Amino acid sequence: MLRGFSRAPKWVPTEGEVLALLDAVPPRYRAAIWLGAGQGCRLGEALGMEEGARCADQERAELHIAQQLRYAPQQYGGFYLSEPKAGSSGTVDLDPVVGQVLAEHVRDFPPVSVELVDITSGDPVRRSVPLLFTTTRGNPFTDRTWSREWADWREAAGWPKEHGTFHALRHFFATTLITNHAEPQEVQRMLRHKTLRITLETYVHWWPKRERRRGLVGTVLQTAETRRAQA
C-alpha cells in the first residue's frame, strides 16, 4: 500500500514555464536547465558535470550520473565530488537535444578546470575537474551563490517562490515521460530511483487512468467457451 503519496511534488512547471525559465537564465547556464528538464538531473548532479565521456558520452548517446558537486567548508577544503544522492548513480540515455545543447555549451563556454577532491570511488583523490558550470569568476557554485542567481531567474520566469526550485525541473522531466506513455519501469530507470515503489509514490497521480471495461473477464471466458464448442 502506498504511504499517503507524501513524495508527491507540490508544483510541476508546464512546458511554457520551463521555456520562460530558459529565457530568463543567462546563456552560460542554460545547459544546466536542460540537464534538469531534459534528463532529470538534480542540482548537485548538474553542477558536478564535467567535460568528457566520464559524464556525457556523445558517441554512445549515454549520460553517466557518476558524481555530484558538494560544498562543506569543513570538508576537503570546501568543494568536493561525491556519489549522487542515495546511491542513485547510473547510466541513462542521453537525449539527442540535450546532447546537442551540451556540445554547444562546451564550444561557447569552455569548461574551467578546478582542483577538487573526488570521493566517488571511496578514497579521496585530488584531481583537476573540467567543470561545465562555474561562476563568471571561474569558481564552483556554492548552494548560496546558486540560490542567489536562481532567485532572480525564478522571479523573471514567474515561477513560485516556495516550490519553484531546480528540483521542479526533475518533476517536469518525470511527468512528461509519464504523460507520454512511458512505462513505470522506464521512468524509474531514467530517474535512477532505487525501487519502483519510490517512483509510484511520487508520481502516481500523473499516470493516465484507463477505464476498465465492465464484464471483461466474463466475456473472455464466454468467447473461449464458444470457440471450444465450435472446435
Structure confidence by residue, pLDDT tens digits, 185-228: 999 999 999 999 999 999 999 988 776 677 878 888 899 999 99
Q: Give the mean pLDDT of 66-83.
A: 93
158 by DSSP, 3-state: which?
coil
Find, among 208, 213, 170, the residue nearest to 40 by Cα.
Answer: 170
Find, among 66, 83, 65, the residue nearest to 123 by Cα.
Answer: 83
Q: Give the mean pLDDT of 13-30.
A: 97
Model pLDDT, residue 1: 38
Average the pLDDT over each of 8-12, 37-41, 98-102, 217-221 and give the range with the smallest value.
217-221
Query: Quick check: 2 pLDDT over 60?
Result: no
Query: Quick check: 15 pLDDT over 80?
Result: yes
Q: What is the mean pLDDT of the chain?
A: 93
Query: Quick check: 5 pLDDT over 50?
Result: no
- Edge-to-edge strand ranges of the sheet holding 68-72: 68-72, 78-82, 112-118, 125-131
Q: Give the mean pLDDT of 129-143.
A: 95
Query: Quick check: 168 pLDDT over 50?
Result: yes
Residue 156, amino acid: A
pTM of the full structure: 0.89
